[in-house]
Structure 1
Amino acid sequence: MLAYLNQLFSERYKQWKSDLHQYFLMFDDPQVALNEGCLKEFEDREDSWVWLCSCFHESGYVKKVKANNINQEKKTLLHHSGLRPFPYRMEALRKGCLKFREIDIFADVYVRPRDELIESFHATMVEKGQLVVQEFASQLPLDMPIEYVDPLEDVGFHILIETLNQTFG
């Protein structure tokens, strides 16, 4: 719980600092931002605003922001998992009787309506999973229901990786 709270506070702080940086960038001149741009939340702490403006003006900070923006644009898969951490999602799936948890997590996090590429990835993964289950079932006695087929633990992970590697390399 403590790790989750620390992560949440860290993300909120980063977002707050990013918002302040966007506000700083609205001014053409850093000196104008320093003199006239001080927000109400810094009225009694002008020294904090001065420190932030100096950080925002440094070339290292600007390079880091540009690099982050470039990296964000390079992303090919955007997740939509919200604030719920992956370990909680995995635990919820463990409680169910799902055969390929990784594929189900992929569907939960990435698949969205009208995203045909991601939907096709998921459909391919499900199809490969069904083939694996049928293969395992063919090795069992005929009277055993297919629901009892339990493939190896990491098969779902291998299906996921194989499907994504075929597209992204």
Structure 2
Amino acid sequence: MATVDLGADPLALDRQVCFALSVASRSVIAIYRPLLKPYGLTHPQYLVLLALWDKAPRTVKDLCDTLRAEPATLSPLLKRLEALGYVTRERNRSDERALTVELTGAGRAFRKDAEKIPYQVVQELGMDLAELEQLHAALGRVLAATDPRA
């Protein structure tokens, strides 16, 4: 196994991947807040809608797997999205244990407005699209390396 040189201080805060990811995540999510506020949405609720716009209907289990979320975390988000009129939740007729989530007409219609959000985020970040695509690819490799299902 090759030796890894982490420099003179491997615990320096500014060298920690976890620190950079944590601060970057909070900072990027902060950009989304004012964009989602007019729709009454939080960023996690927006992620649920993105997953449903990709494929719907979906079971709660499928959403949990896709979003890497626990059912206890997702359940209140789905209840709020249902109260806002964006989704419906129904027991699966063939398997009563499974809860199916479907977009409503309002949830499908909101996609048109939501298509503007990524452009606004890119503009706010002020980074080249190629640089953001490289970052996304690198984060995809981090996600794959940390996927407990792999």
Common fold by TM > 0.5:
no
TM-score (normalizing by structure 2): 0.30
TM-score (normalizing by structure 1): 0.28
Q: Who wins on radius of gyration, i.e. which is larger?
A: 1
Which structure has the higher relative contact order (CA within 8 Å, separation 6+)? 2
Q: Which has the higher strand share?
A: 2
